[in-house]
Every structure is written in structure tokens, then in C-alpha cells.
Chains A and B, each alone.
Chain A
Amino acid sequence: MGLRRIAIASAVGAMFLVGACGQATVESVPSTELHMSRVKDYTIADLRAESTMVVRGTASTSREEEVDKVPVTFTRLRLDQHVAGLGAGAEWVEIVQLGGSAVSSPDTSPLLADGDRYLLFLKPYTARSRSAVPAFVITGDQGVFRESSGGYEFTGAPSDELPARFTADSLVAQARP
């Protein structure tokens, strides 16, 4: 009887163990990782001063490439409003960000999400792009704010300077010179 109990307990234990191990192997693992040294934290004034243009737009499809051995994501953005700076001269632009779906990149801005609306401080992308639309990088990788609940939520690279939330009017007003 005792032996049977031990056998049953062992079998149940083994099943749990196999289940746990199975879960561990199913979990998706990023194939590569990026860690960055940041020049500084940007204030809104820095973002305004260093950006070529500030726009509101809606993120759409994205593609991933390696540029100089670094994984990069290009996301198409439909321009909804030109807020400040030079105009892009196009209805669509591409936003270039470090990282990708199989990359862990905790120091950089999270990739733009398809369908989400953003206010972005932008600089021209200086490398060659195979896209037909103009490409831009996010100023300081911190000039990105996602529309949410009638305001804007900061979604740039980790910052000790920028507040987590802005009202819509306040951010747009600060983005203009």
C-alpha cells in the first residue's frame, strides 16, 4: 500500500515536473539583446530644439531589417497633423526604431503599435532606406507619446526627465516654438 502511494505520488510529481519543464521550453526567447549607453535625458525643450518636425500620426504596418548588423524596425506612420517644424511633404512617413520582434531591447523606445496614435518629435534618418516614403528617427529616442484617455502617455526610452503623462493641449502647446 505504502509503495503504491509512493509510486502514485512520484508519477503525479513527475507529471507536474514535465509540465513545468514543457512550459519553460515553450516560452519565447529573444534571439538577441541590445543594451545602450544614453547620451542624456531629453526635456521637452531639448526635443523641440533638436527636432526637424513634430507630427501626430497613426502607426501602421512595420518591417524588420538589419542595418550595420543592428536589428531595426521600420514602421509606417500615416500623418494626421503637422504640429511644428518642417513638413514631411508626404502623407506617409516611416519611423525607424532599434529592435525587433525577436530582440530584447530594454533601453530603447518600445516599437510603435499598429493602429495606435502618437505625437512624435522627429529627425531625418540619415542612412539609405529602401522605402519610397521619407524615413525619420525619434529625437533622442524619447520624443514619442501615445494618445490615451484624452491625453498623451510617454512611450520613449526610459527617462528621468519627462513626465509619464501630458494633457493633449499641454503637449501640443509645448511642442510648438
Chain B
Amino acid sequence: MTGRVFIAAVLAALLAPALADEIPRAQRRSGYDAMSPQTRAMQDNESENPATLWVLDGEASWRKPEGEANKSCADCHGDASSMKGVAARYPRFDAARGKPVDIEQQINICRVERQKATPFAYESHELLAMTAFVARQSRGMPILPDKAAGAAKTVAEGQRLFTQRRGQLDLSCAQCHDDNWGRSLGGASIPQGQPNGYPLYRLEWQSVGSMRRRLRNCLSGMRAELWPVDAPEYVALEMYLMARAEGLRMESPAVRP
């Protein structure tokens, strides 16, 4: 090996982590693909999927009048079929607010502005139930990320956060989910970190949880400081993950180990 080639090889090795590439489109996989047949069956069959319990609660509150306006979701949106495809498009850039909004925030915007009711707390049963019910309507549809002018900035910010090293372990999201997906970490397989099943029932949580909960889970796993629960960073990451998963089929509410 000549000196120059050797130096080039060493440089390439040193630079490799910084140059982490996104997963090629043809290799994008839902976390479903790595699950056991039993867990897959649980997700596929509605009467076995525990997230159905949340979906049914969401369906009940869809028709229940709330707040000072005494209006239900159905009074404006009609049948839940009007929500078909919505979860596959969120988070979206809200031009009127000048910022991106994820599906949980959109539900709370409706509650505060249309129903004149108090917003649901993040990760509350009510919010998860409503999100699960809305997202259920998009099951099987391909993810269509927001391509509006305002969205690009947030997607870029999300990508920056995804590839930035953080926490005591000095890891970035990309180092696991772009560079090492499919390999093992402490006996568990590393998924690509695709957002196509949220909100989902995680067997480990014994509950339905949001994308935000998953992101907070990862942050604490990296021993990084958690952003406050309403921080814009989560929406930016969600938006980048949806752009990264363009075309993957929605599985909400999914089941994951």
C-alpha cells in the first residue's frame, strides 16, 4: 500500500461516522419486518391488538360534545373517514401559526379553538386514544411528508438533530438507526427508527405511547438531557423522520416489542 492510499484509507475511516448516509430508499423497512410472527399477528388482528382498546376510547370521544362550544369532533369533521390519510401527512407546517404542528398538537388546537375546551396533557390516555383513533384511519396508506415551503426548514432542523451527537454516550440517532440498523444492541435488534406505526402499543411499556415518548426514551438511553415535553425539537425530529420514511405504509396503531 502506498503512503498516499494508506492516508486516504485512514481518513476515510475517520470521516465515516460524520458522513453517515441515509438509508437507501429500497432498503427502508418498517420495524414490523423484524418482529416475531406472534407480535405481527397481534398487530394485524384488531381483536388481539391491545391498542384497539385506545382506538375504541378515541372513537367514543370523537362523538362526545366537549367544552364551552359543546361541539364534538364529529360536528365539524363528520364521520371518522374524513381523517383518512391525515396521520400519514403530519406533522405539517401550519402557515397561520408560522410553525410545524404534529398530530397531537393539532388535536389540542381543535380542542382549544373549536371546542373551547382544555387541551389534553401530552401522553394522557385521552390524547393517546384520540390520536390512535385518528391514525387508525390512515392504516395501510403511504407516508406523504409535507413538502410546503415552510416545512423544509423544520425537516433540515430535524435532520441536524438526528445526526448530532449528544448525551454522555456521545451518540447521534443516525449512528444507530442509519449506520447500524439490523444489528444487535444488548440482545435487541436495532430498528431503522421508522415512524409509521405511531401511536403504538409497546409491549415493554404495557401501554400505547406517542412518537414523543419514543424520542424521549431514546434520549434517556443516550444519557442525554431530555428536552421539555412541549419542546419544538420533538416536532422537528418527527417531521424529519416522516420525510425520511416517505412512502412507507402506515401501521398505526402498531404493536412493537
Q: Report whether chain A binds chain B.
A: no
Interface on B for A, CB 8 Å cutoff?
A: none
